[in-house]
Amino acid sequence: MQTRQLLPDELNWVKVSGVSWAGKGFYYSGYDAPKTGENSLAGKNEYHKVYYHQLGTAQTADKLVYEDKTKALGFRIAGVTDDERFLFLSLTDSKADGNKLLVRDLTDPKQANTWVTVQTSYEFDTSVVGNVGGELLVYTNDHAPNFKVVRIDPRHPQPASWKTVIPEAKEKLEGISQAAGSLLATYLHDASSLVKVYSEDGAYKYDVELPAIGTAAGFGGRRTDKDLYYAFTSFTYPTTIYKYDPATNQSTVFKAPTVDVKPAEYLTTQVFYASKDGTKIPMFITHKKGVKLTGKNPTYLYAYGGFNVSLTPGFSAARMLWLENGGVLAIPNLRGGGEYGEAWHKAGMTPNKQNVFDDFIAAAEYLKVLNYTDADHLAIAGGSNGGLLVGATMTQRPDLCKVAFPAVGVMDMLRYQKFTIGWNWAPEYGTSDDKAQFANLYQFSPLHTLKPGTAYPATLITTADHDDRVVPAHSFKFAAQLQADQAGNNPTLIRIDVNAGHGAGKSTKLQIDEWADIWSFAFYNMGVNLK
Catalytic annotation, pick one of 48, 345, 474, 502: 502
Same domain, 372 and 419: yes
Mean pLDDT of the chain: 96
**For the purposes of burial, counting CB atoms within 10 Å of the CB of 490, is it exposed (0-12), middle (13-18) or buried (19 or more)?**
middle
If residue 361 lies in a helix (H) or strand (E), which one and from where to where? helix 354-369
Within a domain: residue 175?
yes
Q: What is the mean pLDDT of residues 239-256?
A: 96
User: What pLDDT digit, counting tens, does each position of 110-155 carry?
Assistant: 877 789 999 999 999 999 999 998 999 999 999 999 999 999 999 9
Going by C-alpha positions, the residue among 158, 157, 164, 210 that lies closest to residue 183 is 164
Going by C-alpha positions, the residue among 432, 405, 216, 390 that lies closest to residue 305 is 390
Model pLDDT, residue 37: 75
Catalytic annotation, pick one of 384, 432, 445, 475: 384
For helices 385-396 and 354-369, the axis angle rounded to 10 degrees is 70
Same domain, 360 and 325: yes
Name every residue whose Cβ is closer than 8 Å to that of residue 116 and which is 6 or more positions away in sequence: 102, 103, 104, 105, 154, 155, 157
Within a domain: residue 63?
no
pLDDT surpasses 90 at 242: yes
CA distance 103 to 117: 6
CA distance 473 to 409: 10
CA distance 342 to 172: 9
User: What pLDDT digit, counting tens, does each position of 320-329 carry?
Assistant: 999 999 999 9
Domain edge (last residue) among 230, 259, 288: 259
User: 295 and 373 in contact (C-beta within 8 Å)?
Assistant: yes
Within a domain: residue 358?
yes
User: What pLDDT digit, counting tens, does each position of 395-446 carry?
Assistant: 999 999 999 999 999 999 999 999 999 999 999 999 999 999 999 999 999 9
Domain span at residue 292 reads 265-526
Going by C-alpha positions, the residue among 27, 31, 64 that lies closest to residue 47 is 31
Same domain, 255 and 272: no
**What is the pairing mode between strands 228-234 and 237-245?**
antiparallel
Number of domains in the chain: 2
pTM of the model: 0.94
Strand partners, 461: 494
Model pLDDT, residue 504: 79
Q: What is the mean pLDDT of residues 510-531?
A: 94
Same domain, 359 and 315: yes
User: 102 and 91 in contact (C-beta within 8 Å)?
Assistant: yes
Domain edge (last residue) among 210, 232, 259: 259
User: 221 and 228 in contact (C-beta within 8 Å)?
Assistant: yes
Strand partners, 45: none
Q: What is the mean pLDDT of residues 163-192?
A: 97
Model pLDDT, residue 191: 98
**For the purposes of burial, counting CB atoms within 10 Å of the CB of 133, is it exposed (0-12), middle (13-18) or buried (19 or more)?**
exposed
Within a domain: residue 363?
yes
Same domain, 174 and 290: no
310 given a catalytic annotation: no
Residues 328-344 as b/e (b if ≥16 CB within 10 A, e otherwise) read bbbbbbbbbbbbbbbeb
Name every residue whose Cβ is closer than 8 Å to that of residue 482 and which is 6 or more positions away in sequence: 450, 456, 459, 461, 492
Other Cβ atoms closer than 10 A to 386: 27
pLDDT surpasses 80 at 40: no
Model pLDDT, residue 261: 93
Within a domain: residue 521?
yes
Within a domain: residue 296?
yes
Name every residue whose Cβ is closer than 8 Å to that of residue 427 and which is 6 or more positions away in sequence: 94, 95, 96, 97, 349, 350
Model pLDDT, residue 2: 77
Within a domain: residue 81?
no
Same domain, 290 and 373: yes
Same domain, 323 and 395: yes
Q: What is the mean pLDDT of residues 196-216?
A: 97
Same domain, 282 and 208: no
Confidence of residue 501 (pLDDT cuts 50, 70, 90): confident
pLDDT surpasses 90 at 499: no
User: 149 and 201 in contact (C-beta within 8 Å)?
Assistant: no
3-state secondary structure of 509: helix
Same domain, 319 and 232: no
Domain edge (last residue) among 236, 259, 282: 259
**For the purposes of burial, counting CB atoms within 10 Å of the CB of 243, is it exposed (0-12), middle (13-18) or buried (19 or more)?**
middle
Same domain, 401 and 253: no
Residue 81 to residues 24, 103, 148, 441, Cα–Cα distance (Å): 15, 10, 19, 41
Indicate which CATH number applies to the domain containing 328. 3.40.50.1820
Length of the chain: 531
182 given a catalytic annotation: no
3-state secondary structure of 173: strand
pLDDT surpasses 90 at 349: yes
pLDDT surpasses 80 at 181: yes
User: 152 and 118 in contact (C-beta within 8 Å)?
Assistant: yes
Name every residue whose Cβ is closer than 8 Å to that of residue 254 and which is 6 or more positions away in sequence: 229, 241, 242, 243
Confidence of residue 180 (pLDDT cuts 50, 70, 90): very high
What phi and psi, each to the nearest 5 degrees, are found at residue 433?
-70, -20
Same domain, 199 and 270: no
CA distance 240 to 252: 10
User: What pLDDT digit, counting tens, does each position of 449-477 carry?
Assistant: 999 999 999 999 999 999 999 999 999 99
Within a domain: residue 112?
no
Same domain, 335 and 435: yes
